[in-house]
Structure 1
């Protein structure tokens, strides 16, 4: 795991205490806040998540243009109270607004679900190992190299689709290997850069790049698809990702000790704040104790259930809107993108709120559970209600925006929680919990595609009902077994210095 063992002996002796608590006298009282190196690093990582999310979500909006019959006349009208028949049935005419040169494929809803989920097969293999690897060799290398690979494969995606379905799926899986390394490896940064009382803010600023990336790709993807053809969505955002990699390698440093431009006061503040997490020597991972830890399992199970919700929102929102309203892909992109800009704002504010509650003497476990509840239950409940309402632009988009706006609140709950229960192993544990999230990202579109294929009338109701049941089950498990105190198996062994 990433530790502070790279510090020089002089700094180690003067700044680190052998106690589990930080000596408040060693922590500078006045340090830079938002205009600081650590928040600048959070912004850079925010942009990294923005880039990788545009590459991850690109297929979700372009699928409307890639597949025959995804933009057909809806059989739903304003006076009908039943859920509209899904957009996969109908004629096979290519929308006239799309570029004639853009290829169109005959993929069923079930095949589309497999394509949506295929990237996560690769992610499952690298999310957890990349967190461990980043703790050993550094986030800069792991994330930077992976982002280069993901960006190049994004540019290659249209050609992969032309080469055949099997080749396309294989390309998506390899891209998932790269993206999993990005999502899993980045959190090792905050083991060395994140003071404990600022981790909610720093992590949520970082993660907030994801909904902003989803907003940008869905909005601009619809415009690009209609004006230039869907392949240019991949060319544009893959190219931008390659350019961004230069910024990443130039500005990111794994340890504040070695950062060339950091303010000395800020450096001392970060080092002193993390003094109690020093590991004097390498110690083996307590694998058996981890497997028996209910607080750890509760994080993973709730991560799975929440990621099921997020996957349905990201993957199927353009398709759902297309099935309800007879609109072109440009307008679909605009409507589908709106909820994610709300999610971006919420992502940033939720970390500020969590840290504020901690300053008001709220228990840490209480803050984590409140955030997790607000990010899960209301969102899944609103989606459950959505198919039973008479759809209109106002009601549909209002509910979707509220759902997307509340969902990121969980970022200050289950996603930060590994830093609380096991700070020494947090990068690995965040990777493991995201591993379970990847399993949900695979299962959700695959199962949903099957439900939509088998029941064209009530398919969406079944999709949202299953989502609610899974989400509620994971939430209850976390509320019962979740914890925020350092677990016994994660505590540093006391060693005597000679």
Structure 2
């Protein structure tokens, strides 16, 4: 049964009918809660993010099958705890021989693998800001639709590109990154028009959690598909899923409540009235100088960058770390690597509920944003540092990995949606730009990780994890000191005088 939200007109606030203010006051109405169009938009965006990040992360699990692991044998330090049955090195070698019959295997060094990992991320960095800006110009529905079908078709092209040569593979993934960056940045414009302030945490968390579900699904089934059909079929299957998602997106998503053909008048009025006075009555140029001088904006962007460094460490290196330490076969690696992201998906969905619950208990917005960001940073960063010291225990290692990765999404209703607080008028551009800036960590993490691991496997992991801890802590401190949640002066509507 649908939950309902009470809508009461306030003193001097105008009511809205079809997006236009009227002077007539209406009695309190009930509008749909969970079973509503705005939540439907959030869940479709969840599926969109699932698709885009699954296509982005496929290679994290298939890389175990794509490379000739005998050329880069991991350095083990004599585990004192015997691995569970089925996770031993003999079966790993047997599976590798079995996979090489079904699909080609390449001799890529750890540094080359790092370059392949990062190649898709350049476009993600470059296009999220422009994507948010373009969505405000041509519409989110059209822009994200183009990004979805483009990324999906390029996913289907990756196996033949790898067969043609490393340069073709890198070029394909780079173009795919442009598509995915446009999709991520473009979708941010939805929440300017669809998310009432008191529901931003849960709606944005639902949408953003699709990214985590995408990683979980790829890691869970990617190893099984690689083991049974060969690694190219992982790309073919998720490329096909992307085409289905593109069709659903075109049918079900609209840019704003006014243009949606199936939304009821009570819900439309509720959304539009809650967003009253947040947008310019006429188009105004971006206040670039004000943005560049804004400490709250810089602290938000840098904190997002450093937190994404931690997240990308898990996304890119969880399968590789498990393979390096325990030499598990690809099927079991997929199951073990996906477990942290199942926990992360659950916590990501609950994090938005927590944030909105705290707001309902009269916590200030800035306090809520900082609390959830801290919860999503300190525990994961601490646990990841401990990983090299518990590698002798299989159970403890998997537990620490699961908890550290699982708690990270608690920051989603914190620093990642802070632009809706400090500059709602320019939120799509700023959320896209800050996420694009944060995504530069996805380029740097595999390069830095490849450098450390190429020198020494055992101490390389330890040094790499310590660096991740220090970077995450630095960004969090900046946000705690300089972060704000009130609309900044440069983001307020300016009066335009005409001569």
Alignment of 1:152-163 (within 5 A): 152-163=153-164
The answer to whether the 8 A contact 2:122-2:177 is kept is yes
Report runs of 4+ in structure 1 exceeding 6 Å deviation: 7-10, 91-94
Distance in 2, matches of 1:41 and 1:399, equals 34
1:73 CA displacement: 7.0
**CA–CA separation in structure 2 for the residues paired with 1:179 and 1:344:** 20
Aligned pair 1:188/2:199, yes or no? no
Superposed, 1:66-81 pairs within 5 Å as 66-69=66-69, 75-79=76-80
Corresponding position of 2:37: 37
Contact residue 378 and residue 406 of structure 1 kept, 8 A: yes
Residues 355-386 of structure 1: CA distance to partner in whole angstroms, max 9, x if unpaired? 01001110110100111111111101110011
Task: Name the count of aligned residue pairs.
Answer: 475
Distance 1:15 1:136, change over 3 A: farther
Kindly state the Cα deviation for residue 412 of structure 1 after the two structures are TM-superposed. Answer: 1.1
Cα shift at 1:12: 2.1
SS at match of 2:97: coil
Distance (whole Å) between structure 2 residues aligned to residue 11 and residue 473 of structure 1: 44
Contact 1:60 / 1:316 at 8 angstroms: preserved in 2? yes
Aligned-pair CA distance for 1:10: 7.4
Q: How far is the alpha carbon of 1:79 from its aligned partner?
A: 2.6
Task: String of CA shifts for 1:109-138, please: whole Å, max 9, x gaps.
Answer: 011111111111111221100001111111
Asked if the contact 1:27/1:268 (under 8 Å) is kept, the reply is: no
CA contact (8 A) 1:94 1:104 kept: no
Aligned to 1:13: 21
**Distance in structure 2 (CA, Å) of the matches to 1:399 and 1:326:** 18
Secondary structure (helix, strand or coil) at the match of 2:96 reads: coil
Range 368-377 or range 385-394, more displaced:
385-394
- Paired residues of 1:148 and 1:241 also in contact (CA < 8 A): yes
Q: Specify whether residues 124 and 263 from structure 1 end up closer, same or farther in structure 2 by C-alpha distance, changes over 3 A only.
A: same
Q: Distance in 1 between matches of 2:410 and 2:19?
A: 38
CA contact (8 A) 1:98 1:229 kept: yes
Give distance in 2, aligned partners of 1:205 and 1:391. 37
Q: Give the whole-Å Cα distance in 2 for the aligned partners of 1:26 and 1:330.
A: 60
Shift of residue 8, structure 1, vs aligned partner: 10
What is the match of residue 46 of structure 2? 46
- Give the TM-score normalised by structure 1: 0.91
1:122 to 2:123 alignment: yes
2:257 paired residue number: 256
1:20 aligns to what? none
1:65 is matched with which residue? 65
| Matched residue SS, 1:300 | helix
TM-fit CA distance, 1:9: 9.4
Q: Contact 1:204/1:350 (CA < 8 Å) preserved in 2?
A: yes
Per-residue deviation at 1:468?
0.7
Post-superposition offset of 1:29: 4.7
> For residues 27 and 140 of structure 2, what CA distance do their matches in structure 1 show?
26
Distance 1:413 1:233 in 2: 33
Q: Contact 1:154–1:238 (CA<8 Å) still a contact in 2?
A: yes
Structure-2 change in CA distance of 1:26 and 1:354 (3 Å):
farther
C-alpha change, 1:341 and 1:94, in structure 2 (3 Å) is closer
Partners of 1:449 and 1:73 in 2: CA distance:
14
| Alignment TM-score, normalising by the size of structure 2 | 0.91
Counterpart residue number, 1:441? 442
Question: Is 2:325–2:391's contact at 8 Å kept on the other side of the alignment?
Answer: no
State the Cα distance separating 1:353 from its structure 2 match.
0.6
State the shift of 1:326 in Å.
Answer: 2.5
Q: Which runs of 5+ in 1 are unaligned?
A: 1-6, 17-24, 81-90
Q: State the 1:278 CA deviation.
A: 3.2
**Alpha carbons of 1:93 and 1:12: their partners in 2 closer, same or farther (altered >3 Å)?**
same
**Pair 1:144 & 2:142 matched:** no
Q: What is the CA distance between 1:437 and its match in structure 2? A: 1.3
Q: CA deviation at 1:74?
A: 6.0
Partner of 2:3: none
Match of 1:372 in 2: 373
Deviations 1:247-279 (A, max 9, x none): 110000101111111111101111111112131
Q: Which residue of 2 aligns with 1:457?
A: 458
1:477 aligns with 2:478: yes
Structure 2 unaligned spans of 5+:
1-14, 82-91
* Counterpart for residue 97 of structure 1: 98
Task: Answer yes or no: is 1:400 the counterpart of 2:401.
Answer: yes
Alignment-derived partner of residue 301 in structure 1: 302
Deviation at 1:13, TM superposition (A): 2.9
CA 1:56–1:126 in 2, change beyond 3 Å: closer, same or farther? same
Q: SS where residue 30 of structure 1 aligns?
A: strand
